[in-house]
Every structure is written in C-alpha cells, then in structure tokens.
Structure 1
Amino acid sequence: MPRATPSDDPQPQPPVRPSLDDCCHSGCIPCVFDLYDEALERYQIALAEWQARHAAPPRAGKPRKPRKARTPRMRR
C-alpha cells in the first residue's frame, strides 16, 4: 500500500480557542469552552494518528557486503 503524502493527508489543524468574550457567563450547557475542549481532544487524537501515519519507517542498518568464501590454505 503506498504511503500517504502530505497533499493526500494534510496535518490536522488545532481548533481555534474561544476568547473570554465568546462566553456569555450564564452557565450554558454546553459552554463554548466545553465545545472547545471536546474539539481539542478530537484534534489531539487525530494528530497522533496522523503522526503515526507519517512517521519515518525504522532505518535498517547499512547492508553488509557479502564476504568472499575462504579457501583453506595449504601448509608447506
């Protein structure tokens, strides 16, 4: 399966934090800050999944050259 490229799978963007003026301070359920916290949790999960998909594969060691077969030496 081909790996995803950034153009196919863009990095998730964090939600915009509401300003204090966005809250009406009347105890709404859900509050804009509750909604933001939920969106932030979804973002963190999506970001972790995205990072796992785009992680560099583990590098294998440099391939070794095959050794030449040794031939037994004749004793004189």
Structure 2
Amino acid sequence: MNQPKQQAEPKPKKPASDECCGGGSCCPCVWDEYREKLQQWRLSNNLQQA
C-alpha cells in the first residue's frame, strides 16, 4: 500500500527586528524560542546543524 507523504513543516522564521528588546533580560527571549524551533525543525527534517 502507498502511504501518503508527510508534509514538511516550514522552516521557522527569524524574529523581526522589532520583536526583540535587545535588553537580554527576557526569559525566554524570542531568539531562544527561534533557536529551539529551528533545532526541532532540523531534527524533524534530518538536517545537520549549520
């Protein structure tokens, strides 16, 4: 039987320049969330870290 192919999730988008305050005190920072989502995306798509 043919199984339907899973749709690849789109690559996470980098935060816009106005989404980060630049203060370094936000927990979690939008960049922390982006890096986590990007790593999960890479793992789910079998991509090595660049």
TM-score normalised by the shorter chain: which range applies?
0.7 to 0.9
Alignment partner for residue 40 of structure 1, among 38, 41, 47? 38
Specify the structure having the higher radius of gyration (Cα). Answer: 1
Alpha-carbon separation, structure 1, partners of 2:3 and 2:14: 29
**Displaced runs of 4 or more, over 2 A:** 2-6
Alignment length (residue pairs): 46
TM-score (norm 2): 0.72
Displacement of 1:22 in angstroms is 0.7
Shift of 1:3: 5.0
Query: Is 1:5–2:4 an aligned residue pair?
Result: yes
2:13 and 2:3 map into 1 onto residues whose CA distance is: 26
Unaligned runs of 5+ in 1: 50-76
Q: Which consecutive unaligned segments of at least 5 residues does structure 2 have? A: none
Report the identity percentage. 30
* RMSD, aligned CA: 1.9
